[in-house]
Chains A and B, each alone.
Chain A
Amino acid sequence: MSRQLIFAIRRLLLTIPMLFVMSVVVFLILRLVPGDPVRTMLGFRATDANVAELRHQLGLDQPLLTQYVNWILALLQGDLGKDIVSHAPLADLLAQRLPVTLELTALSMLLAVIIGIPLGIRAATGGRWTKRLTEGFVIFGISIPDFWLGIMLVLIFAGTLMILPPSGYVPFAKDPIANLRYMILPVLTLAAGEAAYILRTTRSAITSVLDRPFVTFLRAKGISPNRIVFGHALRNAGPAIVTVIGLQVGVLLGGAIIVETMFALPGIGRLVVTGINQRNYPTVQVGVLAIATIFIVVSLVTDLIVAWLDPRVADGEAT
């Protein structure tokens, strides 16, 4: 068996404890609420009979371990429970909301990569002014909170220029053009900070590769600077850049919670925030579960890509 395959299997097995811990935390959300969570959910006007009924429905009248096992078994069969406000099955709600969050984060990451990597390469290879300008972009990109950037973008593009809608959502399947028009501002909001991180990582990764002896050798051989950067440096800087992109997906998913609320996008993030405000714990649990699962899967895929790009990673882990 190749070392990379061993690494892949080990990494895959590592997701099991991660998923387990995550599921325990999500399971405990409802159980750790101080006082009586069912009474909190239903409000103080609820009758004792109502409270007892919901408690039974949520399985809260059983021993904790039984509750967890039942909950996990139901989850694995696709039964996520019901929203206690709208009484809609949470699996349906998730199916509606998931595409919105996935579209938002995927487009934002794509834009951040398109901006960040080329600028990062320029920052590593360019002159003094290129370096200063990109440094400024990094500092401001990291320091401006995404929610404020979003507000300013709305003020400019929706308020003053009136060329984009301030908030709202149309499904892609219904009207792709309108969907993208609604997505432009949220995606810009999320992508700006990410682009700054990717720029910074690309810059430092490329700079450190360009310092290595093999680059001096390539230069001495008369290889063109462009071929050195794109053919050799970028290939070597790849694992570092991919690792940061993978980690930043977590930041994007967190940012999506704010951006969805801000632009009235019906995604999972907004579902969680509304859920918390309505004390709608089952919905909060499903939302947190969905976002955390996406993050764990993305981390897994990132590590596998990194090991594929740089076999030394697999060697270090597998031997």
Chain B
Amino acid sequence: MSQAIASLRSRPRHDSSSRLMVIGGAMLAALAVIALLAPVIAPHDPEAVEVRRVLGAPDFLHPFGSDVLGRDVLSRVIYGLRVSLIVSLSAVAGSLLFAVPLGLIAGYFGRWIDTTVSRGLDLILVFPAMLLAVTFIAILGPGSVVAAIAIAVIYLPILARVMRTSTLIVSRNDYVTGARARGASHWRVLASHIAPNALGPVIVQASVLSAFALQLEAGLSFLGLGTQPPTPSLGGMLADGREVLIQAPWVEIFPGLAIVVAVLAFTFLGEGLRRAFDPKGVAE
């Protein structure tokens, strides 16, 4: 890791990369605080039905208005954001958990191990991402856990491939040959020399994929296949409000904007990280 940091310092910092990282990071930090403190921040109970407030327009007490059942849209957006972030981030984290070791092993040992791992993972790419998620849900039934598993499986080949390429590049370094010559075991070389230096591009790719994971989760919930009611989810809110779009556009505008802001946060962060930590474009 210290080597990676040293190489960063020696390179002139790209102005736009740090600006993007700061904007993306700040947006994400704000969203994380909102999601974590949802019970404290949300002005109303997201599931409280209030008949008098059905499709109520935005006002001082309900800045985002209320929905078909008179529930406060702002509170539901806050809770929905929480669910969306948890599902998409745990999906990407779960995917990393398998992708990093698989990529390391494939890239380091090469030969038949590489062929087996790479070809095996390629099989997942036979299906378009959304179709694979839908197929998973067809088998296991709708729900946020199944949606997270499906997203994790979809990203496994992409993240593992980046980790493999990155491992291949790092393995060629003299210090790796040196460590092996000193008698360090394969596992020691992998864990203390290769993995810490090869992780950069895969982290970049993971943050870019988080943006897509968020859209995928919202898309699945929109289809009724992801997070199930009454738990508020951004995609589910968009699906619920479609019938009343013309009468009460706030029911659709605000949850959608929340998705856009969250996706932009990950996109900015990912793009900034990519420019700073992955100038060779391994993660692309």
A residues lining the B interface (CB < 8 Å): 18, 21-22, 25-26, 28-29, 32-34, 139, 142-148, 151-152, 154-155, 158-159, 250-251, 253-255, 257-258, 261-262, 272-273, 275-277, 281, 284, 288, 291-292, 295-296
Known contacts A32-B139, A151-B252, A152-B256; A257 and B131 CB within 8 A of each other = yes
Chain A residues, CB < 8 A from B245: 151, 154-155, 159
Q: Is A250 a contact partner of B129 (Cβ separation < 8 A)?
A: yes
In the complex, the answer to whether A29 meets B139 with C-beta atoms within 8 Å is yes
Asked whether A145 and B131 contact (CB < 8 A) given A139-B267, A273-B225, A284-B138, the answer is no
Interface of A is mostly: helix
- Which B194-235 residues have C-beta < 8 A from chain A? 211, 215, 218-219, 222-225, 235
Q: Chain B contacts of A32 at CB under 8 A?
A: 139
Taking the nearest CB of chain B, how far is it from the CB of A60, in angstroms?
Answer: 15
Q: Which of B128-166 contact A (CB under 8 A)?
A: 128-131, 134-135, 137-142
How many residues of B are in contact with the other chain, CB < 8 A?
Answer: 37
Whether the pair B263, A145 counts as a contact (CB closer than 8 A) is yes
Contacting residues of chain B (98-146) with chain A, CB-CB under 8 angstroms: 123, 126-131, 134-135, 137-142
Chain B residues contacting A257 (CB-CB under 8 Å) are 130-131, 134, 223
Which A residues are in CB contact (< 8 Å) with B225?
Answer: 273, 276
Q: Measured between alpha carbons, how far is A28 from B138 in the docked complex, in Å?
A: 11
Selected from A145, A276, A288, A292, the residue in CB contact (under 8 A) with B260 is A145
B130 in contact with A145 (CB, 8 Å) = no
- Given contacts A148-B259, A155-B245, A291-B128, whether A277 and B252 have CB atoms under 8 Å apart is no
Residues of B whose CB lies within 8 Å of any CB of A are 123, 126-131, 134-135, 137-142, 211, 215, 218-219, 222-225, 235, 238, 242, 245-246, 249, 252-253, 256, 259-260, 263-264, 267
Which residues of the partner chain B approach A155 to less than 8 Å between Cβ atoms? 245-246, 249, 252
Separation of A34 and B252 alpha carbons in the complex (Å)? 35
C-alpha spacing A143/B218, complex, angstroms = 13
Known pairs A148-B238, A159-B246, A288-B138; A253 contacts B128 (CB<8 A): yes
